[in-house]
Amino acid sequence: MSEIKSYEFYFSGTEDNRYFFVTKNDIAYEIKFKPFPYLFDSNEPFAQNTFEFVIAVFSNPNQQNLRLDSNMGITIAKIFDDFYERNNQTITIYICDTSDEKQFARERKFSRWFLAFQNENYLKTDAILLTSGEEVVPVSIIFRRDNPYKYQIMEAFEKLTDGFTHK
């Protein structure tokens, strides 16, 4: 049995705070923390520290099917740690893509990664957004437990999602 270890990753910076890594199957992933200051009211002191978390295939030269890779979760966790070390007041929102109707599979995978690799430094809350077209969109918000605005963040997130929490 192989040891679970993180892939080496590279932080390129840029406006979208991009990270890159390549898996053992030569699939390159791009992780972005895109500024998302308009999620919350701009008067909130934490609005400017809000980022949307995006996982995307950057390159798949052999057109392989994406399959379970046990090293991805720890790599994502280490990327989170790296990004939060740059600003401990960071707030991350993860909005599950609904384009292929696999949003709940994405939510489960992300939650498994979070549970497997979390430490007591982070808080995560899951909720459901209902779009104007009645589409159900799972979302998660993550921030550090020592964020001085944690109660205001939770209240603003609950207001944003109309209290539709999801377990």
Exposed e or buried b for every residue in 32-68, given b needs 16+ CB within 10 A? Answer: bbeebeebbeeebebbebbbbbebeeeeeeeeeeeee
- Asked if the 9-160 domain carries CATH number 1.10.10, the reply is no
How high is the pLDDT of residue 20? 96
What 8-state DSSP symbol labels residue 53?
Answer: E
How high is the pLDDT of residue 163? 52
How high is the pLDDT of residue 50? 94
Which parts of the chain have pLDDT scores under 50? 1, 167
How high is the pLDDT of residue 167? 46
Question: Which single residue is written with the structure tokens 């991009």?
Answer: 18
